[in-house]
Amino acid sequence: YTREVRKHMDYEEKTVFKYVDSLLKGNAPTNYQISTFSKHHDQVGEKLTELKNIIIKYCPAKANENLLNAALFDIYACEAGLESHCKVEDYIFVPAILSLERRIRENEK
């Protein structure tokens, strides 16, 4: 799961944010659109749900309950944080970038 989150954040840093930087400078690269990003970012949340379900299903009966509860609490907290992160992207970031893309493309015509 950690690898998936890093991959997601690296993708945002190296692809999405560079693309947005270009848009902010008035350039609209033709090899990428923000809609590509919005189609794929939910996959990180799915991986976290998988992790949580695996722990709950396969945790041995003799497991330390305090440790298990702490781990599950952290996972649920991470899930809530990730959900907030995705909502900001879905409802604020992506619509703003779509609007910026439209404006730049209209100006190029």
Q: What is the pLDDT of residues 12-41, one digit of tens each?
A: 999 999 999 999 998 888 889 998 887 766
Task: Report residue 63 as tokens.
Answer: 């497991």
pLDDT given at position 19: 94
Q: Average pLDDT, stretch 6-13?
A: 88
Residue 109 reports pLDDT greater than 80: no
Residue 42 reports pLDDT greater than 70: no
For residue range 59-97, list pLDDT tens digits in order. Answer: 888 889 999 999 999 988 988 888 898 889 989 999 999
Residue 43 reports pLDDT greater than 80: no
The confidence band for 50, taking pLDDT boundaries of 50, 70 and 90, is: confident
Q: What predicted TM-score, i.e. pTM, was given to this entire model?
A: 0.77
Cβ pair 72, 52 in contact under 8 A: yes
Phi and psi, residue 82, nearest 5°: -65, -40
Task: Report residue 24 as tokens.
Answer: 């902010």
What is the count of structural domains for the chain? 1
Domain enclosing residue 22, as ranges: 2-108
